[in-house]
Amino acid sequence: MKALLLDDTHPLLEQGLQAGGLVLVRAFDEPLEWLTERYSDAEVIIIRSRLKVTKDFLHAFPRLKVIGRLGAGLENIDVEEATRRQIVCLRVAEGNARAVAEHALGMLLSLLNHLPRVQREIKEGKWLRESNKGRELQALKVGVIGHGIMGGTFANLLDAMGVTVLAFDKYKTGYAEGSVKECSLKELYTEADVISLHLPLTLETRDYANADFFHAFNNPIHFINTARGPILNTADLVTALDSGEVLSAGLDVLEYEKSSFTSLFEGPLPPALAALLERENVLLSPHIAGWTKESFEKMGAGLAQKVLAVLKTV
């Protein structure tokens, strides 16, 4: 069997596939027409986020059985068409769930303790204690929206710290572990002091955190998004920060990212992003929450195992 690797991968992924008897073809930079001409007999394709797998792309590989994405989401794959063609689409969200949870926690603790601001003040020779009094996480109620692998890992991490965690998932029940409390969205709006999004990017979730969303909370909230950028309406977040509905925000993802997640945009800075960059109650990182040495290893090894397991059944 032939596996076509269309992006950089981890050695553990390649070693695992080769050990399973697959012949690897590394074609990171070849034009699409070359791929379809030379490698149309591929039965496995491995991608990350750079390539968009469309209906036409799938039709060009008639022997394709498995698409493996070295990452957590499948939004760059036409999953509906792949399913219709009986092609199995695999991801490895469990590989970087811990990394995402720790990153979200780090952002939240930094914001609660004003670390972006105090770093700047100390560099300026200021030693201000009273104005930088922080909050303890155990005094707050953290709402987790989306209790999949990512949201569940974050909720469990907080629960182990003795934090009150309220979890909402529109499509699941009976999922909470430990002291995590399953609740309705209305309960979140009423009780939460912190909101962390852990949703996939779909037509339903695009622009999920918008003006109506921020207006709905009884308490001013701290807001964390380590999921996907377009889930958040950035301009509405800026307005909510101005009004005090949002006290602080930690964003590892931005709606302006290119589909490859490797860069932002071309051209002038969007006004909403420019406004965020001026604020010390906003913490930004370049889509690295799930990108650690350990997570890359776990995703590589895990995806190889999943691919080989599927091939044994088809």
Residue 147, C-beta contacts closer than 8 angstroms, at least 6 positions apart: 155, 167, 168, 169, 172, 175, 176, 182, 198
Catalytic residue among 14, 245, 255, 257: 257
Q: Is 147 a catalytic residue?
A: no
Query: One of 114, 228, 245, 255 is an active-site residue; which one?
Result: 228
Strand partners, 20: none
Give catalytic status of residue 257 as yes or no: yes
Distance, in Å, from the CA atom of 302 to the CA atom of 275, rounded to the nearest integer, reads 40
Task: Give a three-class secondary structure readout of 135-186.
Answer: CCHHHCEEEEECCCHHHHHHHHHHHHCCCEEEEECCCCCCCCCCCCEECCHH
The C-alpha atoms of residue 22 and residue 16 are separated, in whole angstroms, by: 9
- Using an 8 Å Cβ cutoff, are 6 and 30 in contact? no
228 is catalytic: yes
Structure tokens at 105: 């926690």
Longest CA–CA span in the chain (Å) reads 67
Residues marked active site are found at: 228, 257, 287
